Structure 1
């Protein structure tokens, strides 16, 4: 079990962070091209080795223009390579930050949920003992654990 953590971001820092995120979003948005999930599946994916490959191809194309087929616009290729490098420079620290945010949120959320379950169980016991107000609180909270009805068999409705 991990040790409990205590995280409390002051309102002033939250406001600064929200402003900074807004700034990032507004500055980056004109340069971004969001894809649908289907479009993302159609895009050729690159790995770390592909970046080195791009760099070498660019060097060969620069030093020996005859290697570049007529249908490839070499300046467009160079622009795409630079954009990929620039975006990667921005993405890597943001990915680490997102991972750290997710980890911290997972930890604080897990701690809160375990504590909330303890309180719920206490309310449940109090309701069984007919403690004042406990039954209403239990009825309100127990919906979180209600079984979801199973979807009807498609053949049965046909």
Structure 2
């Protein structure tokens, strides 16, 4: 194998501790919601660049409440802005952690896949002499089987 960037053991205790920590984090944020893809698509787009716009709009609304219709709830708007600002640091921390989890998962998977390919090659070489690994090689070989396009006419 060319490189071994992941050289550790992730114990069952560490996994359970991480799962418990995630559950505690979720429990500490009971107001979090899930949006369906349709709900998300129907909403105005929002991202980091919109935060400044929202803050300035809040300043205008707070300094000029007379421009707002009576049906507009400045308190609800203020509460939404507060949630945005309070979740910002948590969101960035989770994004950073998720990036590291994804990179570690990918690197470990890549290393394991490279090792598995070597084992597959060694098993094929060994099988030529003995034939003892035929069933196992068939199982491993399914990873590389190509799917036949049934809609294409036969040649």
Deviation at 1:115, TM superposition (A): 0.4
Residues 62, 11 of structure 1: CA spacing in aligned structure 2 closer, same or farther, 3 A cutoff?
A: same
Gaps of 5+ in 1: none
Q: Give the secondary-structure state (helix, strand or coil) at the position aligned to 1:35.
A: coil
| Cross-structure match for 1:12 | 13
In the alignment, does 2:48 pair up with 1:65?
A: no
Cα distance in 1 for residues equivalent to 2:33 and 2:15: 28
Cα distance in 1 for residues equivalent to 2:43 and 2:140: 46
In the alignment, does 2:41 pair up with 1:41?
A: yes
Deviation at 1:2, TM superposition (A): 5.8
Cα distance in 2 for residues equivalent to 1:112 and 1:121: 14
Gaps of 5+ in 2: none
Aligned residue pairs total 152
Q: Is the 8 A contact 1:60 1:67 kept in 2?
A: no
Cα distance in 2 for residues equivalent to 1:41 and 1:21: 28
Q: Mapping of 1:83-102 within 5 angstroms?
A: 83-102=83-102
Q: Is the 8 A contact 1:58 1:78 kept in 2?
A: yes
> What is the root-mean-square deviation of aligned Cα atoms in Å?
2.0
Moved segments of 4+, more than 6 Å: none
Q: Which moved more, 1:60-69 or 1:97-106?
A: 60-69
